[in-house]
Structure 1
Amino acid sequence: MRRRKRIGDVGITALVSHAKNLVFLDLSRCSRISDNALEAMGSLSFLTALYLCGCYLITDHGLTSLAHGSSSKTLRILDVSECDQITDYGICSLQHISYLQELKLADCGPKVTDCGGACIAAMPGLRKLDLSWLINLSDSSLISIAQNCQNLVEIRLIGCEQITGNGIRSFSGHQSLEDLVLDSFYNVSVDDIVHVVLGCLPLSHLRLHRALKCWMPSSTQEQLSKLCKISWI
């Protein structure tokens, strides 16, 4: 039901009450969805995937309701990208979603900081993670995630301005990471990228800002392309 601008909390609450076996729900960019709808969704016992990208009325209260409801035992995929009223408090409540594997937090705003990053690192079951445009996440969050999220196969770090080469290098030696997305970085060097590719053996796809292509020697590009696929974005 994505982009249905006339669908709000009343409609979703009614849907949930009549569709107890709902497994997949996409309400992305339904701008009238708020915390009341999330509280109703929390009662679902079979929900595995929930997409709420651009539902900007959602706050920490809604995430907390979701994280403490029946759906916390079944939810595997959660997308709250562009929900910019969310803070560290709401992020930390997500630790109660026992089997969460894919979490999208892109562009959730400046109130998600390293405190929230530490809570993300405490979710060891994560396999895919999008932290793009979280401008107040720093290397300490990334280092904790690299150390503790050993099942991670994909991480997106577009526009994370405070992250430097030290944070990126923390994934050297990671045993599962296959897909790394970097863009709009000013504090990451070619050497940092080479260090990760050489040290992270499972890495098979590296996506980089095209501006880096000008700074990366052709010999280095050739060396890295033998180890993983490089896409310029």
Structure 2
Amino acid sequence: MESLLCDELLQEIFQRLPPSSSSTVPLVCKRWLIVHRNSRSFLFLRVPSATPSSLRAFSSFLSRYPRLSSLSVVLVSPSDDSLDAVPGCEDNEEINSSLLADQLLLAVASNCPHLRHLQFFAGPVSPSTLLSLSSSCKHLSSLCLSSLRLLSFRWLTFFPSLKDLSVFDCSSVDSSDEDESEFELPLETLCLSGIRAGDCGLGWLWRSCTKLRRLQLRSCEGTGDGDGDPFSSFIRCLPGLQELELRTCRTIADGVLLRLAQHCSSLHCLRLYDGGSRDGLHRFISRSRSTLQKLDLRLPLDLEDDHLSAVAENFTGLISLRLQSCCLVTGEGLKTLGTAINAGLEELALVNCDVIERKPGLLTTLGQSLRGLRTLDLSFNSRLSDKELVSMLVSCKNLVDAKLRGCRGLTGAALLSMFKNCKLLETIDIKQCCGIKADSVEFFLLNSPRLRQFHVEESKLSGVAKTCISKKFIQIVG
């Protein structure tokens, strides 16, 4: 009994250790090694070869960690040494690659009954293997797959706890999956990539995702909704949607946004990257019945001032606005938007937006209008000057997070201004700011009592700065 209590106490201690310290625990003694394995809840594994011995080693290795709740598996080339490999996976007798992923996933199913989160990037898997996984891992709530051998989603009915699904290659679909039946899946988050224009077979999935809250479509040319109306089943997943991300989906972006405006009134976050049209985006902003709170756009040639005016008119409750590489937006458009939403905005990002350079004084005006800002991201504006930034910071007393990565025109004067005006700052990123030197970094670290995370190059940390970091428990991200 005393031994068991001691082991439980050790497990509690091991679970609280930082990664840098926990790696040496197994070296103390065999008992500590066993207890340490029992305390591990997460593993990230790479499998460097497809051989019978690698499969045996993989299964044996997993069996030593009986309490895993989160697992990531990646198949890599044997020459890739970027991560720790599974011991014993080194011989060269090849296995049929089409069977490897299934056999690896079966090994996971056999040895990890407590899994709740699984990322599996080891090749396409078959529906039958996923059924085996469902019978063994009954509490799986998050599943991320590189691809499916046959893109049929009927196996989802056997995962009653699955809330989050990602499939990163939807390049082949099963047209036989197309009938009018449906099933109420528990899925709340869905991410699909690579659906082609002529693909079909996803209609059942769309009709069954009535509880969907977050949808991500990446590099998709279609919805996989059949040969007729490409959105007839897709619209069934929209009524309760809260977050949508369209990334490089130019072919379908307008259609998705139009249906979103028609069938969804609960959206509070939209992320649109590299796709769509000016008219389609404007129609959505003008017609949407949702109370949008977060808007994130990367549209180099599709976003103009009239879009910002429509946002200012229809989305008055906006708390986060992120614009990246938006070349056609002018200072007047941003000023109009800033005046309309004023104190309500908490996050502003103008990443790689040359309007800052084209319109001197823009940041000063925005700072005066947006005094409630807590997060500011001006990354990769390489010509941003100290004068422009300092004039904005005078009004931004509530900043908690500042990102200035890649702003090569800034100097130590910018950090001095932050020290004077931003007393609540907890996180700052000044990587690739070559004008900011080590002495300015040292001064800022010594005089920022609330700082918790600092993104900066190791070469800019003096001995005094490193001592300060250690005493204040500041996390450095190099």
TM-score range, shorter chain: 0.7 to 0.9
State the distance in 1 between where 2:323 and 2:391 align: 22
Task: Determine if the alignment matches structure 1 residue 130 to structure 2 residue 373.
Answer: no
Q: After the TM superposition, list the runs of 4 or more consecutive aligned residues in structure 1 that deviate by more than 6 angstroms.
A: none
Instruction: Name the structure 1 match of 2:438.
Output: 190
Instruction: Report the Cα offset of residue 154 of structure 1.
Output: 0.5
Instruction: Name the structure 2 match of 1:229.
Output: 475
TM-score scaled by structure 1?
Answer: 0.85
State the distance in 1 between where 2:279 and 2:352 align: 19
SS at match of 2:252: coil
Instruction: Name the structure 2 match of 1:148.
Output: 395
SS at match of 1:50: strand
CA contact (8 A) 1:55 1:80 kept: no
Q: For 2:424, which of 157, 167, 176 is the aligned residue?
A: 176
TM-score scaled by structure 2?
Answer: 0.44
SS at match of 1:171: helix
Q: State percent identity of aligned pairs.
A: 26
Measured against aligned partners, the alpha-carbon deviations of 1:71-92 in whole angstroms (never above 9, x if no partner) come to 12x1111221122222322322
SS at match of 2:379: coil
Task: Determine if the alignment matches structure 1 residue 117 to structure 2 residue 371.
Answer: no
Instruction: Report the Cα offset of residue 139 of structure 1.
Output: 1.1
Shift of the 92–225 alpha-carbon distance from structure 1 to 2, 3 Å rule, reads farther
Measured against aligned partners, the alpha-carbon deviations of 1:31-85 in whole angstroms (never above 9, x if no partner) come to 1242651453255451111222346411222112212x1312x111122112222
Residue 183 of structure 1 aligns to which amino acid in structure 2?
K
Question: What is the total number of aligned residue pairs between the two structures?
Answer: 225
State the distance in 2 between where 1:155 and 1:39 align: 33
Q: For 2:331, which of 88, 110, 127 is the aligned residue?
A: 88
State the distance in 1 between where 2:442 and 2:290 align: 45
Task: Determine if the alignment matches structure 1 residue 217 to structure 2 residue 462.
Answer: yes
CA contact (8 A) 2:294 2:319 kept: yes
Shift of the 151–214 alpha-carbon distance from structure 1 to 2, 3 Å rule, reads closer
Q: Whose relative contact order is higher, 1 or 2, with alpha carbons under 8 Å and at least 6 apart?
A: 1
Shift of the 9–168 alpha-carbon distance from structure 1 to 2, 3 Å rule, reads same
The aligned runs of 1:39-118 (5 Å cut-off) are 40-42=284-286, 44=289, 46-54=291-299, 56-67=301-312, 69-72=313-316, 74-95=317-338, 96-98=340-342, 99-108=344-353, 110-113=354-357, 114-118=360-364
CA contact (8 A) 2:309 2:333 kept: yes
CA contact (8 A) 1:207 1:231 kept: yes
Instruction: Report the Cα offset of residue 178 of structure 1.
Output: 0.6
State the distance in 2 between where 1:218 and 1:58 align: 47
Measured against aligned partners, the alpha-carbon deviations of 1:163-214 in whole angstroms (never above 9, x if no partner) come to 1111221011422111000022222111111222222221111101x3xx23
Q: Which moved more, 1:148-157 or 1:198-207?
A: 198-207
Q: Which moved more, 1:121-130 or 1:143-152?
A: 143-152
Residue 148 of structure 1 aligns to which amino acid in structure 2?
S
State the distance in 2 between where 1:66 and 1:92 align: 12
Residue 120 of structure 1 aligns to which amino acid in structure 2?
L
Shift of the 93–127 alpha-carbon distance from structure 1 to 2, 3 Å rule, reads same
Instruction: Name the structure 1 match of 2:281.
Output: 37
Instruction: Name the structure 2 match of 1:167.
Output: 414
Residue 118 of structure 1 aligns to which amino acid in structure 2?
T
Larger Rg: 2
Shift of the 200–91 alpha-carbon distance from structure 1 to 2, 3 Å rule, reads farther
The aligned runs of 1:6-45 (5 Å cut-off) are 6-9=251-254, 11-29=256-274, 31-34=275-278, 36-38=280-282, 40-42=284-286, 44=289
State the distance in 1 between where 2:387 and 2:283 align: 32
CA contact (8 A) 1:103 1:130 kept: yes
Instruction: Name the structure 1 match of 2:111.
Output: none
